[in-house]
Chains A and B, each alone.
Chain A
Amino acid sequence: MSNFYLNRRALLGLALTSALPASAVWAAGQPLPVVASFSILQDLTRQVGGDLVTVSALVGADGDAHVFEPTPQQARQLQQAKVLVANGLDFEGWLPRLKKAAGFQGQEIIASQGIAVRALPKGQGHDHGHDHGADKAGHDHAHDHGHGHHHGPNDPHAWQDVKNAIVYVRNIAKGLATADPANAARYSQQATQYIARLTALDASLRQRFAAVPAARRTVVSTHDAFGYFAQAYGLRFVPVRGLSTESEPSARDMGALVKQVREERIGAIFLENISDPRLLEQLSRETGAAIGGRLYSDALSPAGGPAATYIDMVETNAATLLKALQAG
């Protein structure tokens, strides 16, 4: 009877992981089983790990990590994983609970560790009733005080600055080396090669955006996920519906935005792969601003798409932005 609580957890674990043998043992020589919280981290980890790792993503391509319901299979994947790569900065609010439920015992890498964290701008149309998926994340989170401000004060979308992605890659390489010390040298070597590509990408972005006249660098986007990108490459992003993709905008937010687009003569509005396109179409109808194309923020496109890897994603976003800004 005293074991009742334990039994219940064991049962829950069983239900979640269905009837497979508990934790499949990872033998040296086999690829290291790694789970990444979302598709972008999955790609970064693949680049560093190469064929030494198999990486699955909890939130796959085109999915939205803000709102996510884990499936039992994913809990099982996590349970069998040796390494978990997460963004941190409160991006994956649902992760603590999933880790607990799945009985994850491996090593967790917080990819964003050590970056210069950007604070969220205050009161930009999303200062009310806004909960960023924290409710779905459950109670493990320090979010139990029910004020309107569920969100951490920090912007989690750090990967949009390529310089930060370099930090991510270093953290991932370090973490993989700790989990799999036998291959530490190869992780480090592959990371160095990848970082060289990222450095070149960063330099090229800076150069290309610097060529756009400063007055033309304002853009409206569905999702306030480009704070780091904007900061790094000298653009201004006006969000259409705050940071969360779950909340429906109010008429006031829409009105404020229409006014802003009209007054600031914003030339381009961008759709992302994950938010409601109907709102942007309405905005474009109302203001005459062009819909600039599709930007990828929190998720890669499926394989074969224009943003199947992190580098492709950044390149595609930059090309789309530059085209719209130069046309406007």
Chain B
Amino acid sequence: MMAELLWHPFVDYGFMRRALAGCLALSAGAAPLGTILLLRRMSLVGDAMSHAILPGAALGYLLFGLSLPAMTIGGLAAGMVVAMLSGVVTRYTALREDASFAGFYLISLALGVLLVSLRGSNVDLLHVLFGSVLALDDPTLYLTATIASLSMLGLALMYRPLLMECLDPGFLRLQGRMGSISHALFMLLLVLNLVGGFHSLGTLMAVALVVLPAASARFWLRGVGLQMALSTGIAMAGSVLGLLLSYHAGIAASAAITLSLGGLYLLSLCLGRLGSVRAQRHRPGNDSVSEPMGVSE
């Protein structure tokens, strides 16, 4: 009986299977990136980047309609421009990374809204801001899967340098170019994943799959690799939960997924093994929250 509630939406409806496949692929790509993002204390940068995509996607939309390649390439380009500019500003001026990101993403966001309002009608903006996880077609699914594969592959290749940069940025800078290359590649992967997520969850909520599962995972496990694996699992569980919630309770799908991820996060926050509310109460004086995690890798 219970099992039927879990299975039959996916058995009966193709759009549910497509949504599931899309979300699982997104989870596999985006959640591990979140772990790194969190280690680098850049979780809000993820949010900023998801908004930075807007003008490119909007431009693609205005010129070519709801075209997958146009919106993808546009979003990717806009995201990378913002990432690069912020990187340059951080490196060569007195401004810190968070502030330079904030500056550029706000400009980018405003530019996107401006573009849409210049040419399109008011509905167009909604198409750009909200994805449609219930309407994933073949090309979108292929794109999502490709991004997930690239993302996992890239992360595997850059794992060492990224980790070193997270833990000791000074060391890697001494080693030469490696640091900035791995940083740029990491931003590329992040933007790729946000662009992928944007087609299904929309610019507003694509970043949820990056940040929330990773934040949840760090309440349970210490090693970076373990956290990545767990956050992928949590992202997948949250996606399935959200889709089922959307099906049975009749609520909007992307919001249901984000809220499920949020629920898992709150649960981890309260009950997790490491540095959670519960753990803190058992061991007063424990400061594992502030200590960087994943040192043991």
Contact = CB atoms under 8 A, between A and B. Distances in A.
B121 A60 contact: yes
Contact of B123 (A60, A245, A285): A245
State the 8 A-B residue pairs at the shortest beta-carbon distance, nearest first. Answer: A252-B250, A278-B135, A251-B247, A251-B246, A282-B135, A248-B252, A63-B121, A250-B250
B248 interface: yes
Given A62-B121, A281-B135, A248 B255 contact: yes
Interface in B107-133: 121-123, 126-127, 130, 132
B287 interface: no
Query: Chain B interface residue count: which class?
Result: 20 to 34
A194 interface: no
Contacts, number: 96
Given A278-B137, A281-B137, A252 B15 contact: no
A276 interface: yes
A260 interface: no
B122 A63 contact: yes
B130 to A, nearest CB: 6
Contacts of A277: 66
26 contacts: A63-B121, A63-B123, A64-B122, A67-B122, A129-B251, A246-B126, A247-B252, A248-B252, A248-B253, A249-B253, A250-B250, A250-B251, A250-B252, A251-B19, A252-B246, A252-B247, A254-B13, A255-B13, A278-B132, A281-B137, A282-B15, A282-B132, A282-B135, A285-B137, A286-B14, A299-B121
A69 B123 CA distance: 11
A300 B228 CA distance: 52
A315 interface: no
B246 to A, nearest CB: 4
Interface in A256-279: 258, 274-279
B132 A276 contact: yes
Nearest to B123: A64
A208 B13 CA distance: 37
B249 interface: yes
A253 B137 CA distance: 18
Nearest to A247: B252
Contact of A250 (B14, B123, B253): B253
A272 to B, nearest CB: 10
A243 B87 CA distance: 46
Nearest to B242: A251
A143 to B, nearest CB: 20
A258 B66 contact: no
Given A281-B137, A286-B15, A250 B246 contact: yes
